Amino acid sequence: MTKIYVLNGVNLGALGTRRPEVYGSRTLKDIEAALAGEFPDVEFAFRQTDYEGEMVEWVREAGRSADAVIINPGAWTHYSYAIHDALEATETMKVEIHLSNIHAREEFRRHSVVSAAVDATVVGMGEFGYKAAVSYVLDRM
């Protein structure tokens, strides 16, 4: 069975209430349930944190025990070299995801320091982006 860590960063625990016009009205739990239902043959480890060090530890853990990591770093996307470095040191397949199209948003959101350390990036597809990321991982395995 394929094991995929789905890691969500800062403020993603507020999905459904935080700027639904940008991020949608579904909660993170809704998205996780949809993924588990769509991909019953995948073992998921769903996690969300607002603490950067905890995210770094989870990326390292995924590198040791998972086939892939799908990460939505939230605002850390734009400045966390610690998360970049953890991903870069991880040999497992990695996909960065963003619900909104970060390239069409505010200037400070248009650059990702994380992208250079992952195999693929999914942006602007809303919650469907998570399904696209899992499909990508499964297709590449």
**Active site amino acids:** 23, 98
Which long-range CB contacts under 8 A does 22-30 form with residues at least 24 apart?
A: 22/99, 22/100, 23/99, 23/100, 24/99, 24/126, 24/127, 26/127, 30/127
Our CA dihedral for 76, 78, 83, 88, rounded to 10 degrees, sits at 150
3-class secondary-structure state, position 62: helix
Sequence-distant (6+) residues with CB within 8 A of 86 are: 55, 56, 59, 60
Judged by DSSP in three states, 60 sits in helix
Q: Are 78 and 103 in contact (CB under 8 A)?
A: no
